[in-house]
Amino acid sequence: MSKNIYTILLKEQCADTLLPSEIKVKILSEGGQIWIQPDGFGGKCAMDGEGYPIGIEIWQGRLRLIIFDDINSEDPQIIDLENARETCRLDND
């Protein structure tokens, strides 16, 4: 199983922000999944600097996001992306 880790700098996108803001983000590709770790964010069962609170995977043939949005909870929010398929676009006749 191959494992790749990339680091990027995520930058503030709101033009109305007075102070520029940026966060270092690690992206882990392992076992057919992608995991994202913004610096300073993690998960309940992971040591500081080790957790990846955002994931993307295919589960039972469906693309989904896995979001651990509360560091005090082991339960993720799972977002099924099937309705975001381009083939699901409604015609605007």
Local confidence band at 93 (pLDDT 50, 70, 90 cut-offs): low
pLDDT of 26 reads 97
pLDDT at 30: 94
Answer yes or no: is pLDDT of 60 > 90: yes
CA 63 to CA 22: how far, in whole Å?
28
List the structure tokens of 74: 């082991």
Closest CA to 41 of 25, 27, 55: 25
Assign 52 a pLDDT band (cuts: 50, 70, 90): very high
Looking at this protein, which amino acid is placed at residue 17? T
- Given a cut of 80, whether residue 18 has pLDDT beyond it is no
**pTM score, two decimals?**
0.86
